[in-house]
Amino acid sequence: MNQPIRQLDLLLRLRERDGERLETELAAKRRLQERYRRNIERLDQLSAASGPSAAAGHPALALNCAGYKSHLLGLRQSQQQDLQLAQADAEVSRSRLQDARRREEQVKLLREERLLEWRTEQGRAEQKRTDETAGQAWLRGRG
């Protein structure tokens, strides 16, 4: 196999490795998003489980419950913002992965094209050698 095809093989392996790295990165970002979603869900559950602030009976307890719910709401908003940022970050990674896969496919196509050209060239060279050998044998047979 000739040098350009070996170089394309190497480039293809690098492109595949880059795609695998980006897939791993995207999977990690999706796991992070899922963690934020679970956190938000749990914060909602905690808020609902604490009941209404006015039901606490004693004013100090009602104030404490209201502060607790306010704190949970602040945490929820923070987690929601973090989730949105993580989603945007994952979208950028997904786009980069698509670009990497597109580049990988281009290299695959180019490699296959060069390999076909090389095989055709090798076939022609072999046919030429066979024709020359047959021609020489024919000439010897006539003489």
pLDDT digits (tens, 9 = 90+) for 63-118: 888 899 999 999 999 999 999 999 999 999 999 999 999 999 999 999 999 999 99
Q: Which of 43-47, 58-62, 100-104, 135-139 has the lowest mean pLDDT?
A: 58-62
Q: Is residue 135 part of a domain?
A: no
**Has residue 98 been placed in a domain?**
yes
Which of 3, 1, 8 has the alpha carbon at shortest distance from 107?
8
Residue 51 Rama label (left phi>0; alpha psi -120 to 50; beta): left
Position 141 in a domain? no
Q: 38 pLDDT band (50/70/90 cuts)?
A: very high
Indicate whether 53 pLDDT > 90: no
Q: Is the pLDDT of residue 54 over 60?
A: no
- For position 49, which CATH number holds? 1.10.287
Identify residue 142 by its one-letter amino acid code: R
Q: Does residue 114 fall inside a structural domain?
A: yes
Q: Provide the pLDDT for residue 83.
A: 98
Q: pLDDT value at position 143?
A: 66
Is 137 inside any structural domain?
Answer: no
How many CB atoms are located within 10 Å of the residue 57 CB? 8
pLDDT at 52: 72
Q: What is the DSSP letter of 58?
A: S
- The total domain count for the chain is 1
Instruction: Give the tokens for residue 10.
Output: 């190497």
Tokens 């022609």 locate to: 124
Looking at the domain assignment, is residue 139 inside a domain? no
48 is a domain residue: yes
User: For residue 60, what pLDDT band results from cuts at 50, 70 and 90?
Assistant: confident
Kindly state the tokens that stand for 136.
């020489």
Full-prediction pTM beyond 0.85? no
Q: Which amino acid is at 143?
A: G
Sign of the C-alpha dihedral computed for residues 107, 113, 115 and 118 taken in this order: negative
Q: Is residue 9, in this structure, part of any structural domain at all? A: yes
- Structural domain boundaries enclosing 101: 3-130
Distance CA(8)–CA(111), nearest Å, equals 6
Q: pLDDT for 119-138, tens place per residue?
A: 999 999 999 999 999 888 88
Which residues, at least 6 apart from 86, have a Cβ–Cβ distance to it below 8 Å? 29, 32, 33, 36
